[in-house]
Amino acid sequence: MFGLVLLSNTAFASFDIPLDSIDDTQQQLSEYIGKGKWVVLNIWGTECPPCQEEMPELVKFHDTHKDGDSMVVSIAIDFPSYLHANKEQVARFADDYLIDFPVLLSDGSITRRMGLGRLDGLPSTYVFDPEGKVVGVQVGAITRDMLETFINNQKLEAQPK
């Protein structure tokens, strides 16, 4: 298991990219990121085994923190092609896994379009601080405990000494 990588050169990315969601609306990541909450952005695919394995952990994290200071937003892409995700397939997956966080649809170019560089694998998880700076990234499966530990450490480091 890997740990989230702290990004020392925190940067602001572009979040004004319109994306379709599984509920037939178009949304932008700017509706969530930089709005005062920690945002865990997970990029995944329905046929990706590590993505399937981590999804219950993301659901638990979101359910525990959504009324507090953190939330999960996800972007589904097709796996293994990295082409645009199939909405019906993603919606069935979301129902099966009881996902209640935003599920958006895109393709493998989404991280480049956001200014985050190349998508290095699935799943990929980016952590944004409440101001919207990307402060951590994890390529590969992640757990609720990993996210909680990382965010809590970031909060502690931000406190005045």
Is 21 a domain residue?
yes
Is 161 a domain residue?
no
Is 160 a domain residue?
no
Q: Which of 108, 109, 116, 113 is nearest to 10 (CA)?
A: 116
* Domain enclosing residue 85, as ranges: 5-154
pLDDT digit string, tens, across residues 27-79: 999 999 999 999 999 999 999 999 999 999 999 999 999 999 999 999 999 99
CATH code where residue 18 lies:
3.40.30.10
Number of domains in the chain: 1
pTM more than 0.85: yes
Is 105 a domain residue?
yes
Q: Is the dihedral of CA 79, 142, 126, 25 positive or negative?
A: positive
* Helical residues (DSSP H) of 19-143, grouped into ranges: 49-65, 87-96, 110-114
